[in-house]
Copies of this chain bind each other. A is one copy, B any other.
Amino acid sequence: MLMTGKDKALKIVNKAEIVMLGTVDKAGQPQIKALIKTKNDGLKEFWFCSNTSSKRAQQMKENGKSCLYFTTKKWEGVMLNGFAELSYDDEVRKSFWDDSMLTYYPQGALDPDFVLIKFTATSGNYYKALVNEDFDVAD
């Protein structure tokens, strides 16, 4: 069976440990930050840990337009376009919790500074060398 760009993208995304989050600040300037990939539902939904007090979280409240970018060492990559929002879902925060995180969130899993970034993708692009394929992200 021939793998589509979307199939290859899913493989890269599922294997990835680190992902780059792109956002846009008040001045219209793009910003990038590396995040640890935690939970994802295929190419559609991603959750990341962040800090309420961080510049990035504050910025996201005003402008949720964002992208995720994944690369491999083989000059191959995936970009997902979508929307990011902050979430304080207690169940999800507890499910992500591990005591090594106390350095960052001294009050534990429900520390008010512990916020989740929920990213929802709408479309994507897979590339490898000169191959470049756009795809929709839908059910």
A-side residues, CB < 8 A to B, are 18, 20, 22-24, 27-34, 63, 65-67, 69, 71, 77, 79, 81, 103-104, 130
- Cross-interface CB contact of A24 among B18, B28, B103, cutoff 8 Å: B28
- In the complex, which residues of chain B have a beta carbon less than 8 angstroms from the beta carbon of A66? 29-30
A31 touches B24 (CB 8 A): no
A67 touches B29 (CB 8 A): yes
B67 touches A30 (CB 8 A): yes
Would A71 and B34 be within 8 Å (CB), given that A29-B65, A29-B81, A65-B29 are in contact?
Answer: yes
A20 touches B20 (CB 8 A): yes
Would A69 and B28 be within 8 Å (CB), given that A34-B77, A77-B34 are in contact?
Answer: no
A30 touches B23 (CB 8 A): yes
Would A20 and B69 be within 8 Å (CB), given that A30-B30, A34-B77, A81-B29 are in contact?
Answer: yes
Q: Which partner residue on chain B sits nearest A103 by CB separation? A: B130
Q: Which partner residue on chain B sits nearest A22 by CB separation? A: B30
B71 touches A28 (CB 8 A): no
